[in-house]
Structure 1
Amino acid sequence: MLARPVWQSLHAGWAGRAVRHGSAVRLHRDFGPFAAVDPGGDPADLAALANAGEELWLVEPEPLPPPPGFALTRQGQLLQMACDGLAGSARSVTARVLGDADALAMQALAAVTRPGPFHAHTHRLSDFLGVEDGGRLLAMAGERMQPPGHAEVSGVCTHPDAQGRGLAAALSWQIAARIVARGQRPFLHVWPDNAHAVALYQRLGFAESGRPWLSLYTKL
């Protein structure tokens, strides 16, 4: 289990985009709301990293109370899945790498499908792949958390108008295959009660690797 994937990412793949105050560290707000506190650190340090009304997202082994100056917005246990052997083969879907010119379309798709936080520069965390029809972005997937030796398949979403075509599975497979080709281990997070998504990832070769807690805190 990657017990503290956010903290690990902020000290590895996200280190160049990390903002620190005391023992607290967060991903730059243009890229996302994720934050963590160093082992043995003071959670009160998080207050300097958020503006009033802004959310911070923490992924930890146990549910935590709100840090001083924050209110708990949401808290729940995630299903963490990792892949040690990608199943199947390349799916027959035409996808292209998305870039800055696609940022607004990516944000619009994320707003409709809610695959997790998608900020102004989230698309710059990795190469996202997208499927289009007539110039309209129908589906996308990419990478988010970057702990040592790992990369998280994330931002997987399909517009409601394109459901049922296998686009999410195809893009997830392609992203996972890219991660494996780099010599890293793909992993992801999903809500345990999302049976459809869990079954999809199991078919791709992912299996449960842990159950960390997601806590969303809003700065007062």
Structure 2
Amino acid sequence: MITLLDRPIWSALTTTHKGLAEGDGLARRYQPGFLPMAGMAVDTSQAATDFAAFVRPGETLYVLQADPVLAPAGLETVVATEAVQMIAQHVPVAAADEAIVALGAEDAEEMLALATLTKPGPFSLKSQALGRFWGVRESGRIVAMAGERMRQPGFTELSGVCTHPDYRGKGYARRLSLHVAGQIVKAGARPYLHAFASNMAAIGLYETIGFSLRRSMHVAALRRPD
């Protein structure tokens, strides 16, 4: 069952997030406005054709999978890099943290501003439709956050971990990651996450809260020219 995570976007959009999917055949994408992410069931010419069919002119979609990503005809590769997928082996029980609060729809614009500044990965005003988010406020504004993104039966991705540059060094990323992972476990799923392979600081942080490497991954941004 864990092989669902080899192509996490495809597996999310054909199971738990099926209601947020667009496309048919051997490719799916998140509906515009949710996440600029898409996936294929297999790497075949038919899957590539199905994928290319839903990419709008000037649009860029991200693909994340275990196999190298090959751009379908008509699309160009804007970015191609290596990532890691980590999965929770044992999440330490976190002490109650009164600084961490649940974030809601009324926080969407502030969350997007923080994500735009810190670039933790694809994020939108509708990202809360994917899962729950929590944050830390200082002087009334959100200075750090983390939440849930992709979901598959039995698994939930920890994502969107970010801290405003002016508030780094306070341990917010670790505290929020530990909190979100604990909430995922409490809900009956197993937490997993992704990080760029070059981001050793993030990988080291996640190892301290019970995550270990599951496998290497490939991420690419594919764009259809205007």
TM-score interval, normalised by the smaller of the two chains:
over 0.9
Kindly provide the amino acid, as one letter, of the partner of residue 161 in structure 1.
D
Q: What per-residue deviation string (whole Å, max 9, x for no partner) do you get for residues 175-201 of structure 1?
A: 000111122110000112212111110
Q: What per-residue deviation string (whole Å, max 9, x for no partner) do you get for residues 62-89 of structure 1?
A: 2122111110011111111000211352
Distance of 1:186 and 1:124 partners within structure 2: 18
The answer to whether structure 1 residue 73 and structure 2 residue 78 are counterparts is: yes
The answer to whether structure 1 residue 11 and structure 2 residue 14 are counterparts is: yes
Distance of 1:17 and 1:135 partners within structure 2: 32
Distance of 1:34 and 1:199 partners within structure 2: 26
Distance of 2:98 and 2:37 partners within structure 1: 32
Kindly provide the amino acid, as one letter, of the partner of residue 99 in structure 1.
G
Q: Which runs of 5+ in 2 are unaligned?
A: none
With 151-160 and 16-25 compared, the bigger mean Cα shift is at: 16-25
Residue in 2 aligned with 1:128?
133
Which of residues 161, 165, 168 is equivalent to 2:166? 161
With 105-114 and 60-69 compared, the bigger mean Cα shift is at: 60-69
Kindly provide the amino acid, as one letter, of the partner of residue 210 in structure 2.
G
User: 1:60-139 maps to which residues of 2 (within 5 A)?
Assistant: 60-87=65-92, 89-90=94-95, 92-139=97-144
Deviation at 1:90, TM superposition (A): 2.7
- Residue 93 and residue 201 in structure 1: after superposition, are their counterparts in 2 closer, same or farther (change >3 A)? farther
Distance of 1:142 and 1:130 partners within structure 2: 9
Kindly provide the amino acid, as one letter, of the partner of residue 51 in structure 1.
R
The answer to whether structure 1 residue 146 and structure 2 residue 174 are counterparts is: no
Distance of 2:98 and 2:73 partners within structure 1: 48
Residue in 2 aligned with 1:211?
216
Deviation at 1:93, TM superposition (A): 4.8
Number of residue pairs matched by the alignment:
220
CA contact (8 A) 1:90 1:170 kept: no
Distance of 1:181 and 1:72 partners within structure 2: 39
Q: Which runs of 5+ in 1 are unaligned?
A: none
Percent identity over the alignment?
37
CA contact (8 A) 1:90 1:173 kept: no
Kindly provide the amino acid, as one letter, of the partner of residue 63 in structure 1.
P
Kindly provide the amino acid, as one letter, of the partner of residue 136 in structure 1.
R
> Taking structure 2 as the reference length, what is the TM-score of the superposition?
0.92
Give runs of ≥4 in structure 1 deviating > 4 Å: none
Q: What per-residue deviation string (whole Å, max 9, x for no partner) do you get for residues 155-184 of structure 1?
A: 000000110011011111110001111221
- Residue 205 and residue 91 in structure 1: after superposition, are their counterparts in 2 closer, same or farther (change >3 A)? farther
Deviation at 1:24, TM superposition (A): 1.9
Which of residues 176, 180, 191 is equivalent to 2:181? 176
